[in-house]
């Protein structure tokens, strides 16, 4: 029986990946390693927690001895590495936390895999889940391809670029079999309300201002999280070693247009008059070093592995809104306590 380690499986994307793997692969022994930081939440995966081939391990990837011992004990055949500090705004206030988890944490996993697998890499795979933000910012035109040079601008993207480089370096230097994917912005159920879409959904529900950074003309390419999980499954099983695949939604939106669409859909769901939620839109001070535009050319994964998104943005957004409205308790839990402090620091104190 293959043993698979998924890191960060209590987080947003990780929880969808863990669920998919547990449900689809009863022949794998699946270990979910997560430190349960503010972003990790076991409530995201209660439906699979009792599966016989699934084990949750609470632990920190920055602890090298712990990681080595875990690999020695279980001798994993495959690693899907998603654990990370993932929010750009937090990386601006605390960059070192991003170096620790995203760079050192990834190094610890690489070192443990290398030590346990030694030179016998047959059937082994280290899969690093990364972001398109490593490529930096696009102007008005063009798309990121797998050969676009790395040019990260935020401490978050610099830390992810660094970890991508180390994964590649371990492949080139030690022959470690790896794959990397660089994906565009995800959205969907279980998204922590620090990112644009879930933060705005929560604020609309609570009739709070919607803080649009700068002029709102920044552009992102949005992908429904379950489509990302399908792509990850496909790349883990069918991707080629030592290759990178870009994953994206073919779905660019300027922030302000996205926010207006979200407001329209929320008005309908909440039975509010059309235009009611849009009144909450408030332009606030811009994010420092704000990347203008991200857009992915996902033709490689489409041509080589046959992947494409399954839902339109309108459908995905509706599913997302429905999930938040049906999971009020989840939203209340994650927005109490520390979240209030974060919100105050990030929005009430800093923005003008
Ligand atoms: P998230 O912040 O929702 O979840 C991160 C998870 O990692 C949490 O469960 C957290 O508890 C865990 N974690 C953090 N530090 C840890 C540590 N030191 N040890 C063990 N676990 C730790 O993040 P996400 O949005 O689900 O992103 C998952 C991965 O996908 C990240 O590597 C991110 O860079 C990448 N990614 C995210 C997006 C996106 O739009 N969210 C897009 C492309 C790539
Ligand atoms: P975010 O969800 O933080 O993802 P990323 O920075 O990784 O792309 O932000 C998406 C876009 O929305 C980005 O251009 C910043 C903008 N944004 C706001 O305008 N207001 C907000 O409160 C947040 C969180 C983001």
What pLDDT shows up at residue 348?
A: 87
Domain ranges of the chain: 2-189+221-251+291-311+339-351
What pLDDT shows up at residue 331?
A: 97
What pLDDT shows up at residue 58?
A: 98
Question: Residue 112: is its pLDDT beyond 80?
Answer: yes
For residue range 314-338, list pLDDT tens digits in order.
999 999 999 999 999 999 999 998 9
> Among 89, 195, 295, which residue has the most ligand 2 atoms within 8 Å of its CB, making it the best to mutate?
195
Q: Does the C-beta of 34 come closer than 6 Å to ligand 1?
A: yes
Question: Residue 352: is its pLDDT beyond 90?
Answer: no
Separation of first and last alpha carbons in the chain: 56
Question: Residue 108: is its pLDDT beyond 70?
Answer: yes
Question: Residue 103: is its pLDDT beyond 70?
Answer: yes
Atom of ligand 2 nearest to the CA of 290: 14
Q: Does the C-beta of 37 come closer than 6 Å to ligand 1?
A: yes
Q: Does the C-beta of 131 come closer than 6 Å to ligand 2?
A: no
Q: Does the C-beta of 202 come closer than 6 Å to ligand 2?
A: no
What pLDDT shows up at residue 187?
A: 98
How does residue 224 score in pLDDT terms, banded at 50, 70 and 90?
A: very high
For residue range 242-263, list pLDDT tens digits in order.
999 999 999 999 999 999 999 9
Q: What spacing in Å lies between the alpha carbon of 105 and ligand 2's midpoint? A: 25
Atom of ligand 1 nearest to the CA of 132: 43
Taking residues 171-181, report their average pLDDT. Answer: 98
Task: Find the helix packing angle between 313-326 and 255-270, rounded to 10°.
Answer: 50
Distance of CA 241 to CAs 124, 173, 179, 238, 269, Å? 10, 14, 6, 9, 45
Q: Does domain 2-189+221-251+291-311+339-351 have CATH number 3.40.50.720?
A: yes
Q: Does the C-beta of 10 come closer than 6 Å to ligand 1?
A: yes
Backbone dihedral angles phi then psi of residue 82, each to the nearest 5 degrees? -115, -15
Atom of ligand 1 nearest to the CA of 13: 26
* Distance in angstroms (rounded) separating the CA atoms of residues 108 and 318: 39
In percent, how much of the chain has pLDDT > 90? 97
Q: Does the C-beta of 161 come closer than 6 Å to ligand 1?
A: no
Place of tokens 């790896």: 178
Q: What spacing in Å lies between the alpha carbon of 85 and ligand 1's midpoint? A: 6
> Among 133, 134, 182, 196, which residue has the most ligand 2 atoms within 8 Å of its CB, making it the best to mutate?
196
Q: Which ligand is nearest to the CA of 106?
A: 1
Number of helices (H) and strands (E) in the chain: give both, helices first. 13, 12
* Distance in angstroms (rounded) separating the CA atoms of residues 6 and 79: 6
Which residues are marked as active site? Answer: 132-133, 156
What pLDDT shows up at residue 1?
A: 83
How does residue 114 score in pLDDT terms, banded at 50, 70 and 90?
A: very high
Task: Find the helix packing angle between 313-326 and 196-205, rounded to 10°.
Answer: 50
Atom of ligand 2 nearest to the CA of 294: 8
pTM of the shown model? 0.98
Q: Does the C-beta of 196 come closer than 6 Å to ligand 2?
A: yes
Q: What spacing in Å lies between the alpha carbon of 254 and ligand 1's midpoint? A: 24
Element (H, E) at 224: strand 219-224
Q: What spacing in Å lies between the alpha carbon of 89 and ligand 2's midpoint? A: 8
Question: HSE-up of 323 (CA within 13 Å, CB side)?
Answer: 17
Q: Does the C-beta of 82 come closer than 6 Å to ligand 1?
A: yes
* Distance in angstroms (rounded) separating the CA atoms of residues 148 and 19: 32
Which residue has the least CA distance to atom 14 on ligand 2? Answer: 218
């Amino acid at each position: 029986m293959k043993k698979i380690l998924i890191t960060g499986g209590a987080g947003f994307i990780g929880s969808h990946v863990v669920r998919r793997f547990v449900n689809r692969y009863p022949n794998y022994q699946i270990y979910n390693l997560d430190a349960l930081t503010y972003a990790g939440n076991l409530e995201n995966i209660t439906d699979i927690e009792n599966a016989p081939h699934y084990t949750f391990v609470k632990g920190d990837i920055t602890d090298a001895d712990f990681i080595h011992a875990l690999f020695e004990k279980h001798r994993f055949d495959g690693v899907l590495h998603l654990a990370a500090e993932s929010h750009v705004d937090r990386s601006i206030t605390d960059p070192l936390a991003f170096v620790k988890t995203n760079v050192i944490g990834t190094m610890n996993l690489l070192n443990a895999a290398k030590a346990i697998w030694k030179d016998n890499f047959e059937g082994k795979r280290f899969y690093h889940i990364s972001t398109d933000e490593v490529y930096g910012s696009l102007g008005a035109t063009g798309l990121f391809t797998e050969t676009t040079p790395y040019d990260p601008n935020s401490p978050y993207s610099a830390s992810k670029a660094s970890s991508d480089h180390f994964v590649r370096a371990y492949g080139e230097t030690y022959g470690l079999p790896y794959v990397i994917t660089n994906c565009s912005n995800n959205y969907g159920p279980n998204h922590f309300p620090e990112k644009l879409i879930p933060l705005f959904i929560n604020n609309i529900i609570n009739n709070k201002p919607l803080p649009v950074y700068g002029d709102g003309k920044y552009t992102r390419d949005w992908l429904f999280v379950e489509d990302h999980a399908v792509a990850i499954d496909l790349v883990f099983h069918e991707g080629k070693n030592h290759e990178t695949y870009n994953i994206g939604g073919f779905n660019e939106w300027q922030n302000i247009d996205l926010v207006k669409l979200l407001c329209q859909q929320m008005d309908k769901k909440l039975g509010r008059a059309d235009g009611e939620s849009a009144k909450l839109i408030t332009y606030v001070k811009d994010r420092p070093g704000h990347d203008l535009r991200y857009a992915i050319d996902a033709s490689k994964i489409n041509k080589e592995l046959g992947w494409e998104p399954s839902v339109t943005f309108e459908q995905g957004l509706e599913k997302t809104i429905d999930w938040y409205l049906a999971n009020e308790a989840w939203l209340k839990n994650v927005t109490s306590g520390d979240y209030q402090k974060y919100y105050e620091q990030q929005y009430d104190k800093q923005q003008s």
